Each structure stands twice: as structure tokens, then as C-alpha cells.
Amino acid sequence: MPKNCNFIEKLREVGLRPTKQRIKMCEVLYNREKTFHFTINDLVKMISEKMNEKISLATVYNTVHAFEKKGYLKEISIDSHKSYFDTNTSAHHHFFDEDTHELIDCDDNDIDPVNIKKNITGKKINSVEVLVRIASDNQTQK
Amino acid sequence: MPKNCNFIEKLREVGLRPTKQRIKMCEVLYNREKTFHFTINDLVKMISEKMNEKISLATVYNTVHAFEKKGYLKEISIDSHKSYFDTNTSAHHHFFDEDTHELIDCDDNDIDPVNIKKNITGKKINSVEVLVRIASDNQTQK
DNA sequence: AATCTACATTATAATAATTCTAAACTATTG
DNA sequence: CAATAGTTTAGAATTATTATAATGTAGATT
Ligand SMILES: [Mn+2]
Ligand SMILES: [Mn+2]
Ligand SMILES: [Zn+2]
Ligand SMILES: [Zn+2]
């Protein structure tokens, strides 16, 4: 259970001023057991609830992108119509539930390492990520 | 080298009226050796050039989505800020060049089959796709 | 071939997500 | 305490996409 002062230090280390909005955002994002996925709108709601006070949408966008640039957050592309972010910034795979639009992390045991046999000259591989799209199985098997 | 009459038939089979806009769109999309990737704006430009006449953006959006629903096109999510479409509608993997924003298809020889060991009860797997992000390799190795 | 009708195209307006702007505010430094 | 550089904010601007409603057209019916 990290305390706010950790977030203050964390923000300072990265060159961001620890304002009350950013600290609240850190609490919402990082004061939890597990990493999670969210959209900007999700996040605005969560912060507003925890603050009993509105936070400007622009601030959330700006700070999310600042965090992303610093490697505190990662953007996930599964749906070209919506931006998802992930507090799990490591390279990892996902299940995406097409019914609920829920993103689920895979841990390393869930998917064997992907073997890339092609290499493109002059280019290095930055990441290899698998997206498994799932949906409810309505094949009523007899 | 398919002729237009093939596109007319193709459109008819699917229940779409073969209008001159749709036929032109088919030519641009399918009258070529290899499949390719495009954005809506790419496509509007390509069609307008081939027609010597403007085509409405709404028509392109509507028809692209009609084609997508019919399985003639596939939407690819690599960048949450832009929609890419693919005339290769089969399940396949991609390289995404982060320098040029170019999408490159992998063929089956390029990546070994991905082994999913996790299964989620009540859900079936719709697709498994790998995205390999690449960028220029600037490690000037001595 | 002329007419009919359902479906298409189009210009334009509406919506939604994101970014920009510039004024008011605040954390930090001296 | 100022002074200052960085921050938040409301609202405007921009961009991508979708909806609307008037006009046009492909294919069927006479
Ligand atoms: Mn973004
Ligand atoms: Mn779409
Ligand atoms: Zn994740
Ligand atoms: Zn492709």
C-alpha cells in the first residue's frame, strides 16, 4: 500500500510537479494490487469520484500522455475507435472479449514465446504482441 | 487481370448494386496483383484519381463498411488514431514499421503457429494475430 | 422505351474524440 | 513572501466518423 508521498517522489523524479490532480491520478492508477486497462473516460470518472470535484479532461489527456512518454503507461491498440491504456507497461499479450470489450492480460504461461523467422534488414524488433480475440461460444453442442 | 464485369457480378452476388462508384472502388481495391493496406483517405485519393471526378467521402465510408461486413475487407488496429483496412481478409500477422507507419503482411512461413495455453470458459477464440513492431536499427555496431 | 421504386450518392450537418489556446492558478525557488 | 516557471482549466478548434435528407440511378415493371 504505497502512500501519496511515494507518488510525489515518483512525479518529481520524472520532472513533473506533484500537483493534487496528478497525485490523485497516481492514486487511481497505481494504488492497487493489479494493473488494469482503461479508457480516458473511465479514468476521468474514477478520478472525479475520488476527488469529489471535477478534473479537467484536458489535464487527464495531458497527464496520461506525459505518463505514457515517461513509460508509466502504455497505449493498447485493439479498437481503432477507442484508445485503451494499460498500467502494465511491460510487453505482454492480451485477450480481447468482443462481447464485453474487456481486455484481459495474458501472463507468460498462457502463450508460448512467438517465433519470428523473418527478419527485415536495417530494422530491429521493438515488440511482439499477440492479440487473441474471443467471444461467447454459442455452439450448443449436443 | 479481372475485368469490370467480374466486379459487377461480385457486387450482385452480395446484394450490392453495381454503381459506377462501387465498381471504381473495386477496381482500385482488387484489380491488382497483391493485397494491400490503406486508410480511408488513401482510398479516397486513389479513387478520385482513377475517376477524374470526386467521390463523396460518405460513399467511401459506407461502401468500405459494407465491404467489411461482407468480408471483402478487414479492419486492422495498430494505431488507435487511424483506421487501417486490409484487402487481405484472411487471418494473418503483421509487421508495423514505426518509422514509416507502413504495415507489412507476414506469410505463414514468417511466424510459427502461436500456441495458446489458456482457455477461457464459455468463450471461443475468434482470431489470434501477432503484431511485430519494428523500427530502424541505429545501433552502429563496430 | 417510359415509368416506377428501392437503393445509392452527395453535400452538408451532427457527433465524438482529441488537441489547442490563453487566461487563471500554484508549486517551487530565491 | 515575491517572482517565475510550470499547471489547470473552460472552452474553442480540429479531426475522424456518422447521420440526414434531398437528389440521382439501377433494375424491374409496364
Ligand atoms: Mn494517444
Ligand atoms: Mn470502423
Ligand atoms: Zn495489458
Ligand atoms: Zn495485412
Q: B2 in a domain, yes or no?
A: no
Percentage of the residues of chain B whose pLDDT score is greater than 90 = 70
Let me know whether A40 and A96 are in one domain.
Answer: no
The secondary structure of residue B113, as a DSSP letter, is P
pLDDT tens-digit readout, A82-109? 899 999 999 999 999 988 888 999 988 8
Q: With respect to residue B140, please indicate whether it lies within any of the assigned structural domains.
A: no
CATH number at residue B61: 1.10.10.10
- What pLDDT does residue A5 have? 62
Q: Rounded to the nearest whole angstrom, what is the distance from the C-alpha of residue A107 to the centroid of ligand 3?
A: 9
- The alpha carbon of B95 is separated from its chain's Cα centroid by a whole number of angstroms, namely 14
Residues in chain A within 8 Å Cβ distance of B141: none
Enclosing domain of residue B119: 91-134
**Least confident residue range of A34-43, A65-74, B24-33, B73-82:** B73-82
Judge if B80 and B120 occupy the same domain.
no
Task: State the nearest Cα–Cα gap between B24 and chain A, in angstroms.
Answer: 26
Tell me the shortest Cα–Cα distance from A50 to chain B, in angstroms.
Answer: 28
Torsions phi, psi for B22 (to 5 deg):
-70, -35
- In chain A, the residue whose alpha carbon lies closest to the alpha carbon of B119 is A110
pLDDT at A100: 86
Pair B72, B111 in one domain: no
- Shortest CB distance from B110 goes to which of A95, A106, A118? A118
Q: In terms of domains, do A80 and A13 share one?
A: yes
pLDDT at residue B4 in the model: 63
Residue A139 lies in a domain: no
For A110-117, the CB contacts below 8 A with 24+ separation are: A110/B116, A110/B117, A110/B118, A111/B114, A111/B115, A111/B116, A111/B117, A111/B118, A112/B114, A112/B115, A112/B117, A114/B111, A114/B112, A114/B114, A114/B130, A115/B111, A115/B112, A116/B110, A116/B111, A116/B132, A117/B109, A117/B110, A117/B111, A117/B112
On the question of pLDDT at B141 being above 70, the answer is: no
Sequence-distant (≥ 6) Cβ neighbours of residue B87 within 8 angstroms? B29, B30, B35, B36, B37, B72, B73
- Res. B1: pLDDT tops 80: no
Q: What is the pLDDT of residues A111-137, one digit of tens each?
A: 999 999 988 999 999 999 999 999 998
What is the nearest CA distance from B5 to chain A, expressed in angstroms? 34
**Closest listed residue to residue A57, CA positions, set A37, A76, A41, A75:** A41
> Both A45 and A14 in a single domain?
yes
Do A95 and A65 share a structural domain?
A: no
- Both B18 and B46 in one domain: the answer is yes
Cβ distance A117 to B109 less than 8 Å, yes or no, reads: yes
Residue B142 binned pLDDT confidence (cut-offs 50, 70, 90): very low
Q: Inform me whether the pLDDT recorded for B129 exceeds 90.
A: yes
Q: Domain count of chain A? A: 2
Is the same domain home to B72 and B130?
no
pLDDT digits (tens, 9 = 90+) for A4-55: 668 999 999 989 999 999 999 999 999 999 999 999 999 999 999 988 888 9
What global pTM score does this model have? Answer: 0.88
What is residue A1's predicted lDDT score, i.e. its pLDDT?
Answer: 46
The residue of B83, B84, B124 whose CB has the most chain A CBs within 10 angstroms, and thus the best one to mutate to test that interface, is: B124
Same domain, B78 and B33: yes
DSSP-H helix ranges across A14-101: 20-30, 40-51, 57-70
In a domain? residue B100: yes
| Separation in Å: D12 C1' and A64 CA | 22
Q: What is the pLDDT of residues A52-76, one digit of tens each?
A: 888 999 999 999 999 999 999 999 9
The domain boundary, picked from B46, B66, B84, lies at B84
Mean residue pLDDT across chain B = 90
Pick the most confident of A21-30, B74-83, B93-102.
A21-30
- Rounded Cα distance between A72 and A64, Å, is 9
Confirm whether A32 is domain-assigned.
yes
- Confidence category of residue A142, pLDDT binned at 50, 70, 90: very low
Q: What is the pLDDT of residue A140?
A: 58
pLDDT value for A141: 54
Of B66, B103, B101, B109, whose CA–CA distance to B88 is shortest? B103
B106, B78: one domain: no
A interface with B, Cβ–Cβ < 8 A, is 75-84, 95, 97-98, 104, 106, 109-112, 114-118, 120, 122-137, 139
Whether residues A75 and A109 share a domain: the answer is no
Phi then psi dihedrals of residue B131, to 5 deg:
-120, 120
